[in-house]
Amino acid sequence: MSRVLRVGVLASGRGTNLQALLDAGSRPDYPAVVGVVISDREDSRSLARAQAAGVTALFINPKDHSDRSAYEAVLTKRLQASDVGLVCLAGFMRILGSAFVRAWQGRLMNIHPSLLPAFPGLNAQRQALDHGVQVTGATVHFVDEGVDTGPIVLQAAVPVQATDTEETLAARILVEEHRIYPEAVRLFAEGRIHVSGRKVTVR
Ligand code: GRF
């Protein structure tokens, strides 16, 4: 039997994408499991979700480290100690420095609530509404040194309705996030993702 991929998840907030990955990992036919969850916030619901699933949950406080690179070196050390082959950002509210990004290049994914390259950064749903687009969505991408700029792995479109508020739109996008993030991790675990420059192909 082939070895199951161990995934490290970095999350700051409520952790619904983490939950989707935990749920997927509990299915016997799924080729990846969450091996460790790390949060920069002690009150993150992600830590409770990890504990409930029997997964190692670590609060690593940025304030305990002299600067960003010292903090990120500890993140890398803990991820390596958990033997992870892929790191998934799931609502991790810190910009990662180039040393961390380079250390995990090609093995670091993020989920973003828009059809990138439209509406990178914060409040993507608000940006979509303000711009008046009729279709937005969700994107799983590899992380590079920019903000939400890395090679795109999977996307899902979500129509904007005339009556949408930021909340209703975010809720419909989230449904797609929870579908495509586990799917992207599955493709990665199966070795089916190939990256050439900006282009990702799934074989
Ligand atoms: C999601 O909308 C994700 O796309 C963005 O941050 C949010 C995290 O939500 N990067 P959750 O913590 O996974 O519920």
pLDDT, averaged across the chain: 97
> How is the beta sheet containing 32-39 ordered, strand by strand?
56-59, 32-39, 5-10, 86-89, 108-112, 135-142, 152-159
1-104 — its CATH code? 3.40.50.170
pLDDT digits (tens, 9 = 90+) for 29-45: 999 999 999 999 999 99
Amino acid at position 81, single letter: A
**137 close to ligand 1 (CB < 6 Angstrom):** no
pTM for the whole structure = 0.97
Kindly report the backbone phi and psi dihedral angles of residue 32, in degrees, each rounded to the nearest multiple of 5, phi listed first: -145, 150
2.60.40.10, 3.40.50.300, 3.40.50.170, 1.10.3720.10: which CATH number matches 110-203?
Answer: 3.40.50.170
Q: How far is the CA of 1 from the centre of ligand 1 (A)?
A: 33
**12 close to ligand 1 (CB < 6 Angstrom):** no
Three-state DSSP at 177 gives helix
Specify the pLDDT at position 1.
Answer: 45
Region of 186 please: left (phi>0), alpha (psi -120 to 50) or beta.
alpha
Percent of the chain with pLDDT over 90: 99
pLDDT at 2 over 60: no
pLDDT digits (tens, 9 = 90+) for 144-184: 999 999 999 999 999 999 999 999 999 999 999 999 999 99
